Amino acid sequence: MPPRSATDPAPSSLREQSAAEEYRPDPKRWSALSVTLVVGFMSLLDVSIVSVALPSLQRDLAATPATVQWVVSGYALTFGLMLVPAGRLGDAFGRRRLFLIGLAGFVLASAAAGAAPSVAWLVAARLVQGLAAGCLAPQNSALIQQLFRGGERGRAFGLFGATVGISTAVGPVVGGAILGLADGPGGWRWLFYVNVPIGVVAFLLALRLLPRGGGGGRGRIDVVGVLLLGAGALAVLFPLVQAESGGLSRLWWLFLVGAVLVAAFVAWERRVVAHDGQPVFDPRLVTQTRGYGIGAALGTVYFVGFSGIWLVFALFFQTGLGYTPLQSGLAVTPFALGSASAAVVAGRLVERYGRRLTVLGLAGVVVGLTAAAVVLLLVPPSAAGWAIAPALLVGGIGGGFVISPNITMTLRDVPVAMAGSAGGGLQTAQRFGAAIGTAALPGLFHLVLSATGEDYPAAAAAGLAVSVVGALAALALGVVDLRRNRAEDAADAGDVADDGSPVPDERHGPDGVHTHGHAWHG
């Protein structure tokens, strides 16, 4: 069969897409994964690493608190906006190409941020840096889909999940360490400069190791869909990233605008699919791909607490107890260590235990964070840093069994040709959850602090309680998905003829891809 051209129509069903995906193991796949994980760690670390440097940034650049906050929130905003379009571009034009473009942009923007002569320059560089990071992120998960199968894919996603968990948790530690080494005026610039040599080396290695091709060979881009999704995401995210400067009270109406735009985006994408077009995000990923919709929802509610809790801990330890940024980061290191080690183990077990790992992990998170809240309320503040460590370790081990198995279970039945947009959609959902958490939990912390006359343990415990609620909501979704998977697997086990041969089942493509009883007809 001749290769498909960019102008050929897309396959009309998931079976046709799966049949077209012939897998040949790349001998350089583990080396390529190492490069993408280093880059992924670097880009995700930049979400939180800068937060510890905001006081020195504000002083050195003579900036207002509201302006300097954009150094953090601007990066998070453009990061989230770019994920789905970049995933689709990678599917259409090649993941290697998009990865290299994003990495080059990230390195250049990091250098510009480090050399910024003014806060306006720095904010602009951070906006570009966020766009580049959003371009990189979906290529990471898509390349795993492309390069690995079976148990190897689970192990690869385990490493990817460990990278996500560690980078989120250790940002304050790394930031505090860099500021400690680069003490004095302008020391914050090294938070950005450190990306440059790492990024240059990674770029050279990626040129050599990443596989060529890998795109879907479909070069049409749904411009209307990109604009609707971008505008809708901007309307929802903007009040959240402006929360600390009163964005929620001033800009609440943007949530309504965002809801209308997202609804229009969904209607448009359905229309594109109905006319055999190429949507920026195919809604059938949610409605017809086993595990994708509920996995994305689980990731969203989990990240509400998982992302926001680090700001609560930073406020508690630094403002309440007078810790330095490095000491504050070290106090929460047990969670990062537990999460990292458990994520690697979970990657090896996910093919065998599936969604059960996520359920077990979420139960561990609930127990660990609940215990942490109780410890903060009962022990003297001077002993809180040590006393909370065992509870955080338990919560971290649980967290390690959540992120990487959920990524694997959410993306495992996605056609490789759509891996970029699917990964971008999943990470966008997580970014929305993170934006909500980073706005809501510190806000609740300050609210309880004011109501209790600066009772810092009570304020921190309230933030932890919200994280526990988010984990419980994710746990409920995990249990629902586990029960549904068991029911479907039991039904599949009965699909045999009298002679023991399998009965053809529309729910499965030729590679075992499950589509909930529906073929993907355009």
- pLDDT tens for 63-81 read 877 777 788 778 878 888 8
* Span 192-213, average pLDDT: 91
User: Which is it for the CA torsion 127, 404, 168, 103, positive or negative?
Assistant: negative
By C-alpha distance, which of 450, 432, 327, 457 is closest to 52? 327
- CA pair distance 507, 515, nearest whole angstrom: 5
Residues near 147 by beta carbon (within 8 Å), at least 6 away in sequence = 26, 29, 32, 33, 156, 211
Taking residues 182-201, report their average pLDDT. Answer: 87
Residue pLDDT, tens place only, 437-488: 877 788 788 888 888 888 889 999 998 998 999 999 999 999 998 888 777 7
State yes or no: pLDDT of 160 exceeds 70. Answer: yes
Tell me the longest C-alpha to C-alpha distance in the chain.
80
Lowest mean pLDDT among 253-257, 471-475, 487-491: 487-491
Mean pLDDT of 35-49: 87
Find which of 98-102, 174-178, 342-346 is predicted with most confidence, using mean pLDDT.
Answer: 98-102
CA distance 378 to 370: 13
Query: Is the predicted pLDDT of residue 522 greater than 50, yes or no?
Result: no
For residue 18, what pLDDT band results from cuts at 50, 70 and 90? Answer: very low
Q: For residues 342 and 398, give the distance between their C-alpha atoms in angstroms, rounded to a whole number.
A: 7
Distance CA 75, CA 387 (A): 34
Which residue in 96, 92, 141, 37 sits closest to 419, CA to CA? 141
pLDDT > 70: what percent of the chain?
85
The pLDDT confidence band at residue 512, using thresholds 50, 70 and 90, is very low
What residue has token string 């650049």?
A: 61
**Range in 199-203, 289-293, 353-357 with the lowest mean pLDDT:** 289-293
Q: Are the C-beta atoms of residues 5 and 161 closer than 8 Å to each other?
A: no
Mean pLDDT value across residues 40-56: 80
8 Å CB contact between 164 and 344? no
Residue 23 banded pLDDT, cuts 50, 70, 90:
low
Phi-psi region of 517 (alpha: psi -120 to 50; beta: other; left: phi over 0): left
Residue of 326 and 196 predicted with greater confidence: 196
Q: What residue ranges do the domains of the chain occupy?
A: 26-221+280-490, 222-279
Please report the pLDDT score of residue 493 as a whole number.
63
Q: CA 356, CA 342: separation in Å to the nearest integer?
A: 14
Q: Are 471 and 302 in contact (CB under 8 A)?
A: yes
What pairs with residue 502 in β-bridges?
496
Q: How far apart are CA 422 and CA 429, in angstroms?
A: 11
Facing residues of 508 across strands?
514
Q: Residue 7 class from Cβ within 10 Å (0-12 exposed, 13-18 middle, 19+ buried)?
A: exposed
Q: How long is the chain?
A: 522
In the block, residue with structure tokens 């938070």: 191
Residue that wins the pLDDT comparison between 397 and 85: 397
* Per-residue confidence (pLDDT) for residue 188, from 0 to 100: 85
Q: What is the DSSP letter of 324?
A: -
Cα(375)–Cα(497) distance, integer angstroms: 59
26-221+280-490 under CATH 1.20.1250.20, yes or no? yes
322-357 burial by CB neighbour count: b if 16+ within 10 A, else e? ebebbbbbbbbbbbbbbbbebbbbbbebbbeebbbb
Q: Band the pLDDT of 214: cuts 50, 70, 90.
A: low
Mention every residue, 6+ apart, whose C-beta is less than 8 A from residue 155.
Answer: 148, 347, 348
Residue type at 65 in one-letter notation? P
| pLDDT tier for residue 282 given thresholds of 50, 70 and 90 | confident
pLDDT for the residue 162: 75
Give the burial class of 22: count Cβ atoms within 10 A of its Cβ; 0-12 exposed, 13-18 middle, 19 or more buried: exposed
Judge contact between 130 and 79, C-beta under 8 A.
Answer: yes
Residue 320 has pLDDT above 90, yes or no: no
Contact by Cβ (8 Å): 396, 339: yes
Which pLDDT band, with edges at 50, 70 and 90, does 108 fall under?
A: very high
Please tell me which residue, 511 or 138, carries the higher pLDDT value: 138
Confidence of residue 508 (pLDDT cuts 50, 70, 90): very low
Residues in CB range of 263: below 8 A, 6 or more apart:
none
The C-alpha atoms of residue 209 and residue 33 are separated, in whole angstroms, by: 9
Lowest-pLDDT range of 107-121, 169-183, 189-203: 169-183
Single-letter amino acid code for the residue at 19: A
For the cut 70, the answer to whether the pLDDT of residue 202 exceeds it is yes
Mean predicted confidence (pLDDT) in 496-507: 46
Which candidate, 71, 67, 66, 38, places its Cα nearest to that of 52? 71
Residue 205 has pLDDT above 50, yes or no: yes
Distance CA(31)–CA(353), nearest Å, equals 27
Mean pLDDT calculated for residue range 87-108: 89
Mean pLDDT is lowest, of 183-192, 348-357, 417-426, for 417-426
**Residue 62 burial by Cβ neighbours in a 10 Å radius (0-12, 13-18, 19+):** exposed
